[in-house]
Amino acid sequence: MTEEQKKKCEKIINSCCKNSFLLCYPDIMRITISLAKLFNKDITKEKTIDIYNKFYKDISSFKCISCLYTFWEIANYFDNDNNKENENNE
């Protein structure tokens, strides 16, 4: 992940808890899609929930800290996927 991507991730991810400690599905979709676009990925709204649930550790307590951690895991997932694609193209 480049420094520019990291800064953009911070802005996207930190925006999720600015006004609320609870996130609804539209928020989750918006943030996950924004992270995907940052790493040049085109994902569907349906796929965003699958990706989020894959990384979300404690679905019963929707705490902001868990959400922040989860979105950083998602950002790393997209970044690692890009790294694998680059290795395959070399």
Domain extent at residue 10: 3-80
Count of the separate structural domains present in the chain: 1
DSSP state of 57: S
Instruction: Decide: 29 and 49 in contact? Cβ < 8 Å.
Output: yes
* 21: in domain: yes
Q: What is the mean pLDDT of residues 79-84?
A: 76
Q: Over the stretch 17-73, which tens digit does the pLDDT of each residue have?
A: 665 556 677 888 888 899 999 999 999 888 888 888 887 765 545 555 567 788 888
Listed in sequence order, the residues at least 6 apart from 55 whose beta carbon sits closer than 8 Å to its beta carbon are 70, 73, 74, 77
- Count the neighbouring beta carbons within 10 Å of the beta carbon of residue 41: 17
DSSP state of 19: S
Q: Over the stretch 13-26, which tens digit does the pLDDT of each residue have?
A: 887 766 555 667 78
Instruction: Decide: 74 and 64 in contact? Cβ < 8 Å.
Output: no
* 88: in domain: no
pLDDT of 55 reads 78
SS3 content of the chain, % helix, strand, coil (to 5): 75, 0, 25
pLDDT of 81 reads 79
